[in-house]
A = this chain, B = another copy of it.
Amino acid sequence: MNDLSNHERAIELLQELGLKEYEAKAFVALTRLPQGTAKEISEISEVPRTRVYDAVRVLETKGLVEIQHASPQRFRAVSIDEAAETLRREYEERADSLRTTLREVEPAIPTEETEVTHEVWALSGASGITSRTQQLVDESDREVILVIGDESAYTPELRERLRAAEDRGVSVVIGITEESLRERVERDLPDAKVFVSGLEWLSSSVETGDETVIGRLLLVDRNTILVSSFHEAVGDGHDHEQAVFGRGFDNGLVAIVRRLMSTGLLSNVDP
């Protein structure tokens, strides 16, 4: 059963990597055989025999399969590593093209300049959130307060940005929910104030029974905040991080967090 899922999983992955259903199925079938005829492939892959030919021909042009022209034709998959590498490189090249192409599209003149005193943005995906976090730290002027709810958020890059901020004279305050991280952070950032207590309200929200876990919480210059959370999605529950960040002293969201911080948290470090 679990191994049956392996086939299916592989087929899904191949489709996500751009192959059609028949192509994916045929390829997986071929990886299970040293070589195979259309009939054999059809039998173990459930691809209609008459369609195997088309599928395999496409696979051949993609460099994933070799064809022996004989009667009957025989097909053979390239090695797993070679296939993975071929597909990976294909997308790598596309991503590079995209990068250079996008740089060349000329900007459109904004119809109108909207001044933004306060704003709240939503974003998702750990990587985007990480990058925005670092960016905000870089922008910091006087103070950075960062609560790390999930260890994965504390990356080496972030550490460097925090150090740089300290060097600029920015006051850095780090809150931690797991004692295990404390040592590392204190060693990394000797000038920073690090605390663990006062964060009970972060992790446990038993009363409401919600499954949301705070990943990071950043307050920059009492002016800009970023909050991220892991939402335990139903069923396929795993790591999708979502965040909002807000700017502007008068921003409602920022105000709330500022208050929250000053009562529960700042009392510990900024009397």
Contacts and interface: CB of A to CB of B under 8 A. Distances in A.
Chain A, interface SS category: helix
Interface string A95-129: 11111011111111011001000011111110110
Nearest to A17: B94
A7 B98 CA distance: 10
A222 B183 CA distance: 67
Contact of A17 (B14, B64, B74, B98): B98
Copies of this protein chain in the complex: 2
A128 B83 CA distance: 9
A-B pairs with lowest CB-CB distance, top 7: A63-B125, A91-B91, A63-B128, A88-B95, A84-B99, A32-B108, A66-B123
Contacts of A128: 63-64, 66, 78, 82, 86
A82 to B, nearest CB: 6
Interface of A: 3, 6-7, 9-10, 13-14, 16-18, 28-29, 31-34, 36, 40, 44, 60-70, 74, 76, 78, 80-89, 91-92, 94-99, 101-108, 110-111, 114, 119-125, 127-128, 131-132, 240
Interface centre among A34, A103, A122, A240 (most CB of B within 10 A): A122
Contacts of A88: 91-92, 95
Contacts of A31: 102, 105
Contact of A103 (B63, B80, B91, B108): B80
A17 B89 CA distance: 12
A10 B86 contact: no
